[in-house]
Amino acid sequence: MLHRLFPWDRRSSPTDPGGSLFTPRRQQGSGRHDRPDLYGAIYVSRAEVSAVAEWLAAFRGQQLTAEDFQRADGRVLALIAFDDGELGELVDLDEPGELEKRRLRPSRVATHARPVTQQLAGGLFDEGLVGFGWWSTLESSWPNVTLFAERTSGRLVIATEPRPLAIDDPVVVAAASAVGVQLSQPRSASRARRVPRPD
């Protein structure tokens, strides 16, 4: 399974803006593997916590509230799972053999220098791949995947309904802890903790 975090519009079909399969190619360019001149990049993960943590990392050292999981246009951040069985085997850059085959050093895969990682992704696109796996730079045990949108169209199968994120969602709590983001607990949860349990 592949997990994706996306801004969900309940009124949208999967391929339209606000849908789980939509790729904002025109807005891309600064992401790790963005090459909007060649393709749209779909960032997913085999671990739910990684999909959430990649977004939360931008807020490291800050405190988030429930409102931060909603957008002014009414969209809400949601998780969805895809069955990737129709994609075929993806190149995994966490495999030493794949790095050796392409004469890649691990530091080139994990670097935060976007020109380097974008050039790497462009080269893999030129090989005719549909996407590739790589390890999260937040936690190396989290397996992430970058897909080339135009080559995966019609081959990603939606496996679950979108799940809107809540600030007390266990996946959100785990991801926030991993990247150093504080969460402001919902008021109802705070009250619940103050109410004594009946004997």
| Distances from the Cα of 154 to the Cα of 21, 85, 130, angstroms | 10, 12, 12
Taking the alpha carbons of 98, 91, 58, 138 in that order, is the dihedral positive or negative? Answer: negative
Q: Give this prediction's pTM.
A: 0.89
Task: Answer whether residue 190 is part of any domain.
Answer: no
Range of the domain at 88: 2-59+72-166
Per-residue tens of pLDDT for the chain, all 199 residues: 999 999 999 999 999 999 999 999 999 999 999 999 999 999 999 999 999 999 999 999 999 999 999 988 989 999 999 999 999 889 999 999 999 999 999 999 999 999 999 999 999 999 999 999 999 999 999 999 999 999 998 899 999 999 999 999 999 999 999 999 999 876 554 443 333 334 3
Residue 80: exposure state from Cβ atoms within 10 A (0-12, 13-18, ≥19): buried
Residue type, position 119, single letter: Q
Q: Considering its fold, how many domains does the chain have in total?
A: 1
Which of 101, 76, 105 is CA-nearest to residue 91?
A: 101
pLDDT in tens, 15-39: 999 999 999 999 999 999 999 999 9
Task: Answer whether residue 197 is part of any domain.
Answer: no
Task: Answer whether residue 119 is part of any domain.
Answer: yes
